[in-house]
Amino acid sequence: MKIEDARKLPPKVQEDIRRKAVKACLNGRSKTEIAEIFGVTRQAVTKWVKGYEQEGQKALKAKKRGRRKGGKKLLPWQAAQTAKMVMDRHPDQLKLPFYLWTRQAVAALVERRFGVSLSIWTMGRYLKAWDLTPQKPIRRAYEQNPQAVEKWLEEEYPAIQTQARVEKAKIFWGDESGLRSDHAIGRTYGRKGQTPVIPITGKRFKCNMISALSNKGQLHFMVFREMFNADIFNEFLNRMLRQHREKIFLIVDRHPVHRSSGVKKWLKAHEDRVRMFFLPGYSPELNPDELLNQDVKSNALGRKRARNAQDLVSNTRSFLWSRQRRPETVKKYFHGEHVRYAA
């Protein structure tokens, strides 16, 4: 006979079955026979009879379902303070032995601050109620000057936009990136407990890329194996000039090559065609071209492994050509939270 899962029955029906089963047992029927009649297990009948003998009818009554109420809770003001600290501070700023906010770290904060010990599962429910979700953080250098960033967003970049309209110039954002054959790949599926093995070459090789993009969807790039220097950068700028009649405003970081004497000399000779502007120091998150770099490393390197240096260069160029043919995709690099101001 198929055994009925009593958990699926209404509480009152469960109670009625228990009472009838115990009554039948008291009237002399065997537990095996009773189990067959009511479609339950013999062990369940034994448990009901034992409970009746110890507690009487109380043991057979239906009990309230759901999670047990009570236990340790945070008072509303304690919850509000905790959520604010998680959003405004880092664990090390509060002298906690954690680098990132995890359920364990927040629970440790609550116990230290309010003397309330909560499990990580309870802490997870609190975090969800506060609309806090686990996210990959953005790295920001200690050396970054918040006042310089604010000035860039509120004064310097708006002034560049205004000047570009006056001079009918196109604004581009440039950056360089190094690409390595041993770049960490993403995740793949495999049987639980058996880590998948991905065959790759044991050799290490690399190449470099330089790119510039605009919020209109235009993309320029160079992929090369030499060391990045003023000659390489000047060649890249020459290529851009050959493809544009309009004046170019190029925004870059403060890399030493960008500020080298060789680049300054080239800019002086082409000042009627190109002007270069610098982002605030230690602020890569303000550059939309950084999102292109991430895209290249995740998709050009992460999804197709190169066997040699030539493969690495070819794969990178093919990927960038594909992006170059999709202006709408290039525009999406400007949708990031920290670069939306440039869209």
pLDDT of res. 291: 94
DSSP-based three-state secondary structure for 308: coil
Chain position carrying tokens 């998948």: 196
pLDDT of res. 14: 84
pLDDT higher at 340 or 196:
340
Q: What is the DSSP string of 9-76?
A: S-HHHHHHHHHHHHHHHHTT--HHHHHHHHT--HHHHHHHHHHHHHHGGGGGS----SSPP-S----H
pLDDT higher at 265 or 304:
265
Query: In this model, does residue 334 exceed pLDDT 70?
Result: yes
Strands (E) located in 181-306:
206-213, 219-224, 248-252, 274-278
* Rg, C-alpha atoms of the chain: 33
Give me the mean pLDDT over the 34-39 stretch.
Answer: 85
pLDDT of res. 1: 45
- 297-328 pLDDT, tens digit each: 888 886 677 888 899 999 999 999 999 999 99
- 125-183 pLDDT, tens digit each: 999 999 999 887 766 665 788 999 999 999 999 999 999 999 999 999 999 999 988 76
Give the percent of the chain with pLDDT over 70: 88
pLDDT, mean over the chain: 88
Give me the mean pLDDT over the 94-100 stretch.
Answer: 88
Which residues, including other chains, have CB under 8 Å from residue 13's CB and lie 6 or more apart?
A: none
